[in-house]
Amino acid sequence: MEAVDQTSSGGGRAGYFGQFGGMYVAEVLRSPLDGLAEAFEAARRDPLFWQEMEDLREQYIGRPTPLLFAENATRALGGAQIYIKLEGLANTGAHKINNAVGQALLARRMGKKRIIAETGAGQHGLATAAVCAKMGLECTIYMGEVDIARQRPNVFMMEMFGASVVPVRSGSRTLKDAVNEALRDWAATCENTHYIIGSALGPFPYPDMVREFQSVVGAETKEQLLTRGVTPSVLVACIGGGSNAIGFFSPYLDRHDGSGEHDGSGEHGGPGQQEPRLIGVEAGGRGPAPGEHAARMGGQGVPGVVHGYKSYFLLDPHGQVQETHSISAGLDYPGIGPELAHLGETGRLEFRSTTDEEALEAVRFFARHEGVVFALESAHAGHQAMCCARELSPDQVVVVNMSGRGDKDLFITARAMTPGPWKRYLLDEAAAISREEL
């Protein structure tokens, strides 16, 4: 393991956000990562690349996604106005496809015919498998054996898209082990294979690349607000690895240059023009005891190096990655993207946490008042948006990113909200299957 300190011409260190980020990888991965960084820089400056992207965003992802004024929710809470960016209306149900499309286009440009990806709950694997089907790329998804058992519907979908889902049997047989397995595959196959990481983390250039592809969420939101003459006071997003949050916040962050360095200050729009507050929401799970949540920035995380980059992680006293818990599978990664760690340290970004119970409450609230079903991950942000709205006055505006829609959570939400009827339904289904097999 060796740190590679890349110095950019702009003065900031490429790949670093303050002390976080970097490229802490084994020697064999240096050259594929350097090659990827180069290809990404070239693509970024090529109008043809962005034209292809624009076509896919419009025809395939379904962009722009709507910005909804949540009028009923606003009235019910009696405080600030709430707007919801309906990112969950994107194809495959969440923001993850923005990144998958971008990286798949890049892979094709680089002449790679095979895509690999890691997945935890299956959302990133699903988006990647869908895009590979669309673009005619071979696709292998690494997934922990434990996750495969818990996430049958997503495994079914990935296989339907033609991907091969490889069970990972090492370690805790969950996401972090799937990442290790994908890195091992890539080290041996990078000649013809591209590794699509699913969040704004990992070694340089992944955090920069994923932010770039997800920044369309924030750019659209900013324009949609501007068109309606609305000035936001607060933006709220949930944080797993941090890709929907960094994309959503992106147009409201100040950057010196292309290096990804921030000055961390929140006021830079000239006199009288204050930038909105930015709130990132982590999983409070079942409470603050170790292993019961995934609030890395909320006090229990420590700086460390895991999976090729430096950031905040939940580690045990021996420096091993800790177990985490969240009702939402997308928020239980033990680490956080390096740029968000830096923005937290400088104070530009505020961190809050929402418990499992509060997230379910938010799902129920927005379903009832707006006819919109938040994914459990996004409902963490929804809950904090409700709290903010209550704290602020009616002339202020809270904008929340609904990173995904909640259809995928049916097996969790229905079980939690109406346990009796749901159990009966599942037992009846199982009985019907057994009868057919006789």
Ligand X SMILES: *Cc1c(COP(=O)(O)O)cnc(C)c1O
Residues that bind ligand X (CB under 6 A): 94, 96, 123, 199, 238-245, 330-331, 375, 377-378, 403-404
Which of 85, 87, 112, 118 is the catalytic position?
Answer: 118
Task: Give the HSE-up count for residue 382: Cα atoms under 13 Å, Cβ half-sphere.
Answer: 33
Nearest approach in angstroms of CB 337 to ligand X is: 7
Name which of 214, 380, 165, 188 is nearest 294 in CA terms: 380
C-beta of 123 vs 324, nearer to ligand X: 123
Q: How far is the CB of 247 from ligand X (least distance, A)?
A: 8
Specify whether 118 is catalytic: yes
Q: Which two tokens stand for residue 313?
A: 């992680």
The secondary structure of residue 255, as a DSSP letter, is B
Helices and strands per DSSP (H, E), number in the chain: 15, 18
- What is the rounded (10 degree) CA torsion for 193, 136, 201, 356? -140
State how far Cα 155 lies from the chain centre. 19
Closest distance of CB 241 from ligand X, Å:
4
Which one of the listed residues 96, 176, 222, 310 is annotated catalytic? 96
The CB-nearest residue to ligand X is 404
User: Which of 116, 338, 58 lies closest to 209, judged by CA?
Assistant: 338
Instruction: Identify which of residues 245 and 398 has a Cβ nearer to ligand X in the complex.
Output: 245
- The β-bridge partners of 143 are 119, 167
Cβ-based nearer residue to ligand X, 185 or 377: 377
Question: What are 281's strand-pairing partners?
Answer: 238, 352
User: Nearer to ligand X by C-beta: 13 or 380?
Assistant: 380
Measured from the CB atom, the residue of 81 and 326 that comes closer to ligand X is 326
| Residue of 243, 311, 326, 403 marked active site | 403
Q: Mark whether 31 is an active-site residue.
A: no
To the query of whether residue 212 is one of the catalytic residues in this protein, the response is no
> Where are any strands of DSSP class E within 74-150?
81-85, 114-119, 138-144
Cis peptide before 205 (omega within 30 of 0): yes
The nearest distance, CB 374 to ligand X, in angstroms, is 9
Cβ of residue 118: shortest distance to ligand X, in angstroms? Answer: 12
Catalytic residues: 96, 118, 403
